Amino acid sequence: MKEQDGLTLYDKADQKNDALHLVKAQGIIKAPIQKCFDLVNETSMESRKKWDQDLAFYDVTEQITDKIILTHVGFTAPMPVASRDFCAIR
């Protein structure tokens, strides 16, 4: 466990598999909840790239209702981890 600037980073190697490494971060975000919500729900690739450099692509696949969307999002990863993509209903 490491602590810095109000952020705690937990780091644990899997006992059964040396290649598996678990990481969790915990901290307090000093911002209004609406600003946090707006930030993580931003659909503009340009805006998201400002705070998420690992973002490879962000596509709104389908607008289901005015508040529900289907997204397809891709992220780059360092070697030896392969890049990942996710589909989500938001």
Q: What is the pLDDT of residue 40?
A: 80
Rg, C-alpha atoms of the chain: 16
Residues 42 and 24 in one domain: no
C-alpha 80/C-alpha 71 separation (Å) is 26
Residues 38 and 14 in one domain: no
Q: Predicted confidence band at 5 (pLDDT cuts at 50, 70, 90)?
A: confident
Average pLDDT in the 6-33 region? 86
Distances (CA, A) of 3 to 7, 10, 26, 88: 6, 9, 10, 32
Beta-strand relationship, 55-63 and 2-4 = unpaired
Q: Predicted confidence band at 48 (pLDDT cuts at 50, 70, 90)?
A: confident
Q: What is the pLDDT of residue 6?
A: 86
Residues 46 and 61 in one domain: yes
Residues 42 and 66 in one domain: yes
For residue range 53-87, what is the model confidence (pLDDT) as tens digits? 899 998 999 999 998 999 999 999 888 888 999 99
